[in-house]
Amino acid sequence: MKTVLFLCSGNYYRSRFAEHLFNAIADRDHLPWQADSRGLIVGRAGNSGPISGYAVHGLEQRGIHLDGNLRFPVQVTEQDLGRANLIIALKESEHRRMLAEQFPAWVERVEYWHVHDLDCAEPEDALAQLDREVMALSSRLLAAPA
């Protein structure tokens, strides 16, 4: 089983939504990949609780129910990066700098998307964009040679 690691700032909203959505799609399509997620500044992100209500609501709208699977955000480590087959940071203008500060050797090994956080986009817009990106990713991985 290969692993995709989604990164965002707090591992509370965007990366968690992407993780759960990807895993539901991978399960449905028998894709031999599994997603995990981490944050780049978990302690400084100021989030409360295990996962954003926006993420939970967006997942439920797509028929994905977490059923108590509500771990708290996790700070990314070098070991997390090393275990992943694919690493995706969800907003290049935000996360490239954070990666350069914390893990400079990994900056060019990460795929960058352009999904805004709540300071720049309404949840329904950001989650719809993440939905499209994750669907495109799963299609790309399904089409890739094993």
| 123-143 pLDDT per residue, tens | 999 999 999 999 999 999 999
Cα–Cα distance between 53 and 28 in angstroms, integer?
Answer: 24
- Residue 69 pLDDT more than 70? no
Residue 78 is assigned to a structural domain of this protein: yes
Residue 91, in any domain of the structure: no
**Do the domain assignments include residue 100?**
no
8 phi/psi in degrees, rounded to 5: -140, -170
What pLDDT, on a 0 to 100 scale, did the predictor assign at position 49? 85
Residue 43 has pLDDT above 90, yes or no: no
Helical (H) or strand (E) element with 29:
helix 14-29
Q: Which of 127, 102, 126, 106 is nearest to 41 (CA)?
A: 102
For range 72-94, the mean pLDDT = 97
Give 9's pLDDT tier (boundaries 50, 70, 90).
very high
Cβ neighbourhood burial of 5 (10 Å; 0-12, 13-18, 19+): buried
How far apart CA 99 and CA 22 sit, in angstroms, is: 23
- Report, in angstroms and rounded to the nearest whole number, the Rg of the chain calculated over CA atoms: 14
Residue 63 lies in a domain: yes
* Residue 117, domain member (yes or no): yes
Considering its fold, how many domains does the chain have in total? 1
Structure-block tokens of residue 73: 């955000």
pLDDT of 127:
97
**102 is a domain residue:** no
Domain of residue 32, CATH code: 3.40.50.2300
Q: What share of the chain is helix, strand, coil (3-state, %, to 5)?
A: 50, 15, 35
What domain range includes position 78?
2-85+109-143
Mean pLDDT over residues 68-93, rounded? 94
